[in-house]
Amino acid sequence: MSATRKKVLAISGSTRKHSSNHSLLTAIAGMTAEKLDIAIFGSIADLPHFDPDRNLENVPAEVANFRHRLADADGVIICTPEYAHGVPGSLKNAIDWTVSSSEFSNKPTVLITASSDGRFGHQALLETLRVIEAKDVDQLQLLIQFIKTKVDASGRITDEQTQAEVKQLMDIFVRCLT
């Protein structure tokens, strides 16, 4: 069965090792293991600051690896908190490294904003993903507010409604990948 599973790169917008967003990605990987081969990207914090002078030539090794992993994936899942009503800087930086190289272009991309509030960062990131032509992002989005009350540290979704919403979103994502 593993030959038919789609390859997905999951990116946490949080740089904290034990973030709720990382726990949510772990839960999603577990619930979709029969259909998706989800690899969680190590850490966007390891990417250097975006430098347009090194964007196409002399690309930093960490950036080249990130781009390669995105290009090799059939789809992408981004799960992020909101910081100060915006997109976390490290996540925006990671995406900025892909604008001219187009790894997101026409690639099914899920956006889950999981935060205390999340509304502002979610809308800003949706717009960025639309501009870089991430595929199906308007139907592959979910805002989960008060995430710390809905996911535990072991990567288990503890809220029934959130569990159902994430399952429905992942079912749509699987269909978009085929």
- pLDDT for res 1: 41
Smallest Cα–Cα separation from 110: which of 89, 86, 139? 139
CATH of range 2-177; options 3.10.180.10, 2.60.40.10, 3.40.50.360, 3.40.50.300: 3.40.50.360
What pLDDT is stored for residue 155 in this prediction? 81
Residue pLDDT, tens place only, 54-94? 998 999 999 999 999 999 999 999 999 999 999 999 999 99
**pLDDT tens for residues 22-36?**
999 999 999 999 999
Confidence band, pLDDT 50/70/90 cuts, at residue 2? very low
pLDDT at 3 over 60: no
**3-class secondary-structure state, position 21:** helix
The pair of three-digit structure tokens given for residue 75, joined into one six-digit string: 């789809």
Output the pLDDT for position 34.
95
Closest CA to 36 of 102, 103, 91, 110: 110
pLDDT band at 111 (very low <50, low <70, confident <90, very high): very high
Q: Kindly state the percentage of the chain with pLDDT values over 90.
A: 90
Residue 14: Cβ-neighbour burial (10 angstroms; 0-12, 13-18, 19+): buried
